[in-house]
A and B are shown apart, each in its own frame.
Chain A
């Protein structure tokens, strides 16, 4: 069957921070670029980032990128690749300055420079004490950043395909990526985008969990497409649970609240983080804080009638500071927790927030597929990619930095490859068959499972078997159960048959991506028999031989999950930075 073919030099899938940043590089270099997005660009989930973007500007106190690099390696529990981490931390200042030049309305300090606040795990002098490294626009940093980058793209005349959903990656016989198929949501029309470079910037997939800070759109579309095209997914067992989601609602409360002096308290009003992280306290790394909170709740010191949350207290802060630095948080608390944080503490629980793993890339944004070989024509950046800078646990504000630095480097790499001037390779004869067949099956199936039920099955399975603390028996059960759930996902039925803005069909297609992410997560988690960063299991406890349950002898390696046969393989962590000495292995404590 033939469908329309649109020809571009480059196609960027996703118009959040990473997609927009790479599109700037492509458009300003004069490459004919299409950016596809399920939503209008400024509705992408980068918009919800609050607290800041990390860069060692040193505007308020001494700082440098080596300290930032040390913190990031330590935060990653040494699973991060040190070449990528050096690259990111070194480029951070330039990345933030670029944004400022694009017009981003950063807050300012008295001398006119960018305002910076402390954030969890960011320290001066190799882990000594918290440092002001998070560059902020009030508590709306992601919003300000996303709008500034969209605006820069308007200036650069980037061509957007708004409310188009990418369906599948197109690879030719040699495995070279030559385009994507996509569906225009308004009309249901399917088109092949024929390109010489395809950049995935499709964001996260936190919607695999029942309780998540993530937007509805975060369904792992890029990961699903990559997995179906034979690209392995890296380190998918590592999911960040943000300490402070609003209890019940899941909406994010930035760590910047603790950066501005907020304190976590249990039912006894105790500042319990002093026991878990005597040095960094409430500004310890997110995995550490989330586990501490979960332990407090489990041991009966939770708050409220069901003792199932803890309190985030800023009532001791000057109301003027709250109004100036945390106005969005006050709105969210009033809206979703029913409390004004100036007067009352906010009920919070650890909530699924960020996927550390993703499509394997090197620090230049090029995708590294099976057999550790670069996949020609394919690039990825942002949350959907795994460079890997976050390793087993991401530091707050490093996500916005990741999407800036690797969005740019993926764009630059694509430009570099495009300038070599090779012609478009032919689309394979069967380029669109798989996508058309999938959509046809969803359109025509009767007697199947509803999208709503299938999604519930996925998110319950993940929530119950792969949470903040993990248990060997539950991991095994979860890995088996998710394969059962997959069968229902292969049997989706939609009642809505319209061609016009068919949201049921979009959600069905998203569900087919969610299940790939869920499988990758469950199976990778079951396989990793140690505790590291955000992956902590009961049968790998803290012992003298294995402090914190981490086993570097056997498990200092990246997981690669292959969709085909749910096969797991491993690859070494890149411990050698680009120019400096390796940050040596050490037991992690805050």
Chain B
């Protein structure tokens, strides 16, 4: 890839000075060694330091730089900038209040995550060494524990847009199943009680936007299906 100039259209809003949000047209010249959308943003920021976005690890594990890229949620650091149609339209994650530019208020998202008791519950006195778990039982956690809490999924979910206060959302439900699936966890019934509600779990209409956007290739819809199965099994 050689040097090339890329065109951007970026959502801008600073409540300190802007009456309303607007889209800013801006271009950036990319070096041949720069490939990711986050590289482009870093360069843009060197030119206009007022562009606000979150970022940290720049390798897709911290979950900071989630945003809406040409209409689809994703991580800037994992997005190949040359694969995007220009002008590249960058907006904050949909469905959450905007604080400034590409930064959203994630309070509601984390509130839902916290609501599922995202920690191992095991009331036996801890043994001297590790609790045992077979490799097969451990494998049940694959595809669940890798979540980076970037919120791409929940903010792509129409059910979450409508009921962010009542529907746990795909990220929180994936985490809920991560603990339900863990052989070391003893709170299965309590966890299912906590989700058996017309909204918390059952607002999922299997639209599968969450699966479509997850930058880690995880499948919250499948996890939600497994929780439903557990509820059905428990009822009979």
Contacts and interface: CB of A to CB of B under 8 A. Distances in A.
B134 A108 contact: yes
Interface in B7-43: 14-17, 33
A43 B63 contact: yes
B184 interface: yes
Interface of B: 14-17, 33, 45-46, 49-50, 52-64, 78, 99-101, 103, 106, 110, 114, 117-120, 122, 126, 128-135, 137-138, 141, 145-146, 148-149, 179, 182, 184-185
24 contacts: A40-B110, A40-B149, A42-B62, A47-B57, A57-B129, A93-B129, A96-B130, A97-B130, A100-B130, A103-B119, A105-B138, A140-B146, A154-B119, A332-B60, A335-B78, A452-B46, A496-B49, A498-B16, A498-B100, A499-B16, A500-B15, A501-B103, A502-B52, A503-B52
A40 B106 contact: yes
Given A48-B61, A501-B103, A504-B50, A215 B131 contact: no
Given A47-B62, A216-B58, A331-B60, A114 B49 contact: no
A267 B138 CA distance: 40
Nearest to A114: B130
Q: Which 4 A-B pairs have the closest CB atoms?
A: A103-B120, A112-B132, A151-B119, A504-B49
Contacts of B184: 103
Contacts of A335: 59-60, 78
A226 B148 CA distance: 32
Contacts of B132: 108, 111-113
A48 B59 contact: yes
A147 interface: yes
Contacts of B100: 498, 500-501
A45 B57 contact: yes
B118 A154 contact: yes
Contacts of B130: 57, 96-97, 100-101, 106, 113-114
A56 B186 CA distance: 29
A452 B49 contact: yes
Interface residues of A, number: 62
Given A43-B56, A103-B120, A114-B130, A143 B61 contact: yes
Nearest to A335: B78
A79 to B, nearest CB: 30
Contact of B99 (A93, A186, A251): A186
Contact of A151 (B14, B118, B138, B146): B118
A45 B114 contact: no
Contact of A101 (B52, B110, B126, B134): B126
Nearest to A151: B119
A100 B128 CA distance: 11
Interface string A475-502: 0000000000000000000111011111
Interface in A109-158: 109-114, 137, 140, 143-144, 147-148, 151-152, 154-155
A340 interface: no
B146 A101 contact: no
A451 B42 CA distance: 13
Contact of A39 (B56, B118, B141): B56
Contacts of A97: 128-130
Contacts of A144: 145
A114 B117 CA distance: 25
A48 B103 CA distance: 22
A60 interface: no
A253 to B, nearest CB: 11
Contacts of A137: 145
B134 A147 contact: no
A102 interface: yes
A344 interface: no
Contacts of A217: 56
Contact of A215 (B53, B58, B78): B58
B49 A495 contact: yes
A248 interface: yes
A148 B120 CA distance: 9
A570 interface: no
A97 B52 CA distance: 41
Contacts of B60: 331-332, 335
Nearest to B14: A498
A573 B210 CA distance: 54
